[in-house]
């Protein structure tokens, strides 16, 4: 949630853009990144990357309270951006249906997941046999490994970074919700922190988690990473 605050004439001039209150101030260029919900079981057995796989219907039904909680956490007046993949769009619609209310969705192809090219659909146990570099400890491959016909995480970081900067330019001082993917969100963090993708891959980005980035005076900062929704019934 955001709230506006008008300083009185007796308050000291703000500096440092500190986040001292429990509420995020309005009027800041802020990107709310949500990873899509869990996909169906058979897809999880294989490398699905940028393939257009379905969400798990069982999890969709069981996790309605979490969609409701996400809706309560998000700003009401945000614009919504999604990747072209239906698992991202269906996650957004699940949040809408759980009480947030319908919104228009803008599709941004640069927020899609890393393309695994010819390695798409491989059983997970076969992927290590294809790698030419040592895999990352927390990702299927190293950031510089490019699957045949696919893209490396370096490529993903470049396209996601351009998309973030352009989105911030178009939506200065506004909130934007982006429903995307684990790799693309790590790429966004890499861009915001100006760190190598191998470093950003050390972040955990779970299904339905929320990560928040802000751009202030042309500089990105990270507000939160991998914040998980708390069920309304648990609060």
3-class DSSP state of 77: coil
Closest CA to 87 of 204, 207, 224: 207
Domain boundaries, the chain: 25-234
Six token digits for residue 13: 């001039």
Using the predicted structure, report yes or no on whether residue 7 has a pLDDT greater than 60: no
Residue 111 in this model has a pLDDT that exceeds 50: yes
CATH class name, domain 25-234 = alpha beta
Q: 31 and 212 in contact (C-beta within 8 Å)? A: yes
pLDDT of residue 186: 98
Which DSSP letter does residue 49 get? T
pLDDT in tens, 23-60: 898 999 999 999 999 999 999 999 999 999 999 999 99
SS (H, E, C) 150-204: CCCHHHHHHHHHHHHHHHHHHCCCCEEEEEECHHHHHHHHHHHHCCCHHHHCCCC
pLDDT in tens, 166-204: 999 999 999 999 999 999 999 999 999 999 999 999 999
Q: What is the pLDDT of residue 49?
A: 98
pLDDT exceeds cutoff 50 at 11: no
Q: What does the pLDDT read at residue 18? A: 75
Q: Tell me how many helices (H) and strands (E) the chain has.
A: 8, 8
Give pLDDT, residue 20.
65
């Amino acid at each position: 949630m955001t709230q506006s605050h008008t300083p009185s004439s007796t308050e000291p001039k703000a500096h440092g853009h500190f986040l001292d209150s429990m509420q995020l101030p309005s009027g800041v260029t802020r990107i709310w990144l949500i990873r899509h919900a869990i996909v169906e079981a058979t897809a999880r057995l294989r490398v699905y990357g940028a393939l257009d796989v379905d969400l798990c219907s069982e999890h969709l039904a069981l996790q309605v309270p979490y969609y409701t909680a996400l809706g309560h956490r998000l700003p009401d007046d945000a614009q919504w951006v999604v990747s072209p993949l239906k698992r991202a769009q269906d996650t957004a619609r699940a949040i809408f249906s759980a009480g947030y209310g319908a919104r228009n969705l803008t599709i941004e192809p640069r927020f899609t997941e890393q393309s695994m090219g010819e390695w798409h659909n491989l059983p997970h146990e076969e992927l290590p046999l294809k790698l030419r570099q040592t895999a990352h400890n927390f990702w299927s491959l190293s950031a510089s490994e490019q699957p045949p016909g696919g893209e490396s995480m370096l490529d993903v970081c470049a396209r996601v970074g351009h998309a973030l900067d352009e989105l911030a330019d178009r939506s200065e001082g506004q909130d934007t919700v982006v429903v995307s993917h684990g790799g693309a969100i790590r790429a966004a963090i890499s861009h915001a922190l100006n760190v190598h993708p191998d470093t950003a891959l050390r972040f955990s980005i779970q299904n339905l988690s929320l990560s928040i980035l802000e751009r202030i005076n042309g500089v990105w900062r990270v507000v939160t990473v991998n914040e998980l929704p708390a069920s309304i019934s648990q609060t």
